[in-house]
Amino acid sequence: MALTLWLLLALIGACGARGRPSMPLKVPNANTEKRRELLGAVHRRHKRWRKWERHHSHSAAGCTAEDGRGDVILRWNNQTLDTVRSKELGAAEASRTYAMVNLAMFDAVNGIDLSSSSSKTCPRYPALVGAVGAPKCADREAAAAAAAHAVLAGLYPDMADTYNAQLAEDLESRSGDNFDRGVQWGAMVGRQVVTARKDDGSSPSETLAKSDQVGEFRQDWTSAQYRNMDPFGIKDKAPYRSPGPPALDSPEYARDHSEARLEGDASDFNQTKEEIFRFWKGGSGSARPPGEWIKIGQVVAEQQGTTKSLSGTARLFALLSAALADSTIVAWDSKFTYRHWRPQTAIREANTDGNSETVQVDGWTPRNGSPGSSPEHTSGQSTFAGAGSTVLAAFYCTDQITFTFEGDDAIAGERTYTSFSEAAAEAGQARIFAGIHFRFSDQAGQAAGRALANEILGSFLRCRHCSHCA
């Protein structure tokens, strides 16, 4: 009985110190056929795990790899945030770079775990680069640093001096055989990530031409190719395409048109709206909206003690950054498909929309100052927010974590949130205060972000060989 209970707990994987997402599998209490079936699955998994352990405990003899600390992951995310800022990358390229750096660090650390089978860690399926050639018991922190360095230096060779300096600092006072092998392995993983993503569809640049049709976006849009980028964590973007904005002559459209006109009007100065819109602005030279979720991850990882574990920290940022990069693909796909007009055009030309409930205002200007540089539906900001908040809440097994941070473009310092979903909702609201999005596009973006994050949480970086870590 005690054994059964233990097995059940192991299978259900109640959220624990590792902060893993709970498993969708539930064993019913009643003595049904379903219960017997699931218990059978528990026993089979347990047997496989024991067999694997017996096999590997011999081959890993003498390996005492400790888990190590996750600060190295945070440091290289800082390097990446700074790269996005100083190179003034757009949100799409930024999200891809965050994912490449973090997947490389994850695969470098996890590859060593897979080959070493230390009982202190929980090896998982690789994110992008398999564990073939991973050195047993090598220095995992050195491998993570070398992997991130190789990705950034591969993508932005003109910034190599900065990356070399950070690597030298990270590797200072570490030496020995395990260290050398860790650095070599990490660098190889980083180079492989760059190669694997070379032709991932993120280039060459593709432009969706401006349109003068009613309901359509008025400017050229120059990063349209990201809708076709290879996903990092999801299988396919297709299920996440928005069903589309409401028809121009619908009451839903009129309702959100009115909200955008009243809440996002530049001529109606309001300190609160100004502060919130700027806090989440993510303009050129900032870490961009996906970077704000990386920053939230950093703050919470330190606050919750996640950084005590290198493998846990690596996994958190791999999940988070993969979900953020896939949010780009999904949002860009809807933008390209619907090429919906921004509130500025929709309000100035409301007399053409065939809806008697919308109010036309000549010269209406959004608080943002400019109308937004991509088609309106859906909101990329909201997609990043839905995805980022969902990954963080699942990793920590609760949405209710209080945290404080400062958006890159903030004009009034830090803000505090009592949950991830509260921050996500405000990020979406900020675009309405900015006057550049409608509520329906915020909602569609948030829903798509949450949904794609849930696919990633359920299928990406799952535990390999063992059931004790879910």
Ligand X SMILES: *[C@@H]1O[C@H](CO)[C@@H](O)[C@H](O)[C@H]1NC(C)=O
User: Which residue, 166 or 242, has its beta carbon nearer to ligand X?
Assistant: 166
- The minimum distance between CB 167 and ligand X, in angstroms, equals 14
373 scored as a contact of ligand X (CB under 6 A):
no
Amino acid of residue 57: S
Residue/partner pairs of 418-426 with CB below 8 Å, 24 or more apart:
419/393, 420/296, 420/388, 420/389, 420/390, 420/392, 420/393, 421/389, 421/393, 423/296, 423/385, 423/389, 424/382, 424/385, 424/386, 424/388, 424/389, 425/385, 426/276, 426/280
Tell me the per-residue interface mask from 25 to 54 with ligand X, x by CB under 6 A, - otherwise.
------------------------------
273 scored as a contact of ligand X (CB under 6 A):
yes
Stretch of residues binding ligand X (CB under 6 A), selected from 86-94, 160-168, 269-277, 339-347? 269-277
- The minimum distance between CB 269 and ligand X, in angstroms, equals 9
426 scored as a contact of ligand X (CB under 6 A):
no
- The minimum distance between CB 376 and ligand X, in angstroms, equals 21
User: Which residue, 74 or 394, has its beta carbon nearer to ligand X?
Assistant: 74
Stretch of residues binding ligand X (CB under 6 A), selected from 69-77, 176-184, 193-201, 312-320? 69-77
- State the Cα–Cα distance between residues 105 and 100, nearest whole angstrom: 9
Q: Give Cα separations from 166 to 25, 161, 171, 223, 412 (angstroms).
A: 43, 9, 9, 31, 31
The DSSP call for residue 406 is: -
- The minimum distance between CB 406 and ligand X, in angstroms, equals 9
Among 62, 272, 356, 363, which residue interacts with ligand X (rule: CB under 6 A)? 272
74 scored as a contact of ligand X (CB under 6 A):
yes
Q: Strand runs (DSSP E) across 279-353, as ranges?
A: none
- Token couple for 422: 């509260």
- The minimum distance between CB 145 and ligand X, in angstroms, equals 12
Q: Give Cα separations from 13 to 67, 123, 202 (angstroms).
A: 21, 16, 37
- State the Cα–Cα distance between residues 350 and 370, nearest whole angstrom: 18
Lookup result for tokens 């076709």: 228
- The minimum distance between CB 274 and ligand X, in angstroms, equals 9
Size of the site for ligand X (CB under 6 A): 7
Stretch of residues binding ligand X (CB under 6 A), selected from 116-124, 249-257, 266-274, 416-424? 266-274
The contacts of residue 7 (CB under 8 Å, 6+ apart) are 39, 42, 43, 46
- State the Cα–Cα distance between residues 203 and 222, nearest whole angstrom: 11
Stretch of residues binding ligand X (CB under 6 A), selected from 5-13, 208-216, 265-273, 416-424? 265-273
Considering only residues 77 to 106 of the shown chain, the ones binding ligand X according to CB under 6 A are: 78
- The minimum distance between CB 142 and ligand X, in angstroms, equals 16
- The minimum distance between CB 270 and ligand X, in angstroms, equals 4
User: Which residue, 79 or 327, has its beta carbon nearer to ligand X?
Assistant: 79
Among 270, 303, 398, 459, which residue interacts with ligand X (rule: CB under 6 A)? 270
Q: Give Cα separations from 257 to 215, 250, 337, 355 (angstroms).
A: 12, 11, 21, 10
Stretch of residues binding ligand X (CB under 6 A), selected from 72-80, 108-116, 132-140, 446-454? 72-80
The contacts of residue 342 (CB under 8 Å, 6+ apart) are 217, 218, 366, 371, 372, 375, 376, 436, 437
User: Which residue, 295 or 450, has its beta carbon nearer to ligand X?
Assistant: 295
User: Which residue, 247 or 262, has its beta carbon nearer to ligand X?
Assistant: 262
User: Which residue, 298 or 382, has its beta carbon nearer to ligand X?
Assistant: 298
User: Which residue, 291 or 449, has its beta carbon nearer to ligand X?
Assistant: 291
Q: Give Cα separations from 38 to 9, 30, 157, 329 (angstroms).
A: 13, 12, 52, 36
- The minimum distance between CB 437 and ligand X, in angstroms, equals 15
User: Which residue, 146 or 457, has its beta carbon nearer to ligand X?
Assistant: 146
- State the Cα–Cα distance between residues 24 and 27, nearest whole angstrom: 10
- State the Cα–Cα distance between residues 433 and 366, nearest whole angstrom: 8
Among 75, 85, 308, 464, which residue interacts with ligand X (rule: CB under 6 A)? 75
User: Which residue, 125 or 405, has its beta carbon nearer to ligand X?
Assistant: 405
- State the Cα–Cα distance between residues 453 and 459, nearest whole angstrom: 10
Binding site for ligand X (CB under 6 A): 71, 74-75, 78, 270, 272-273
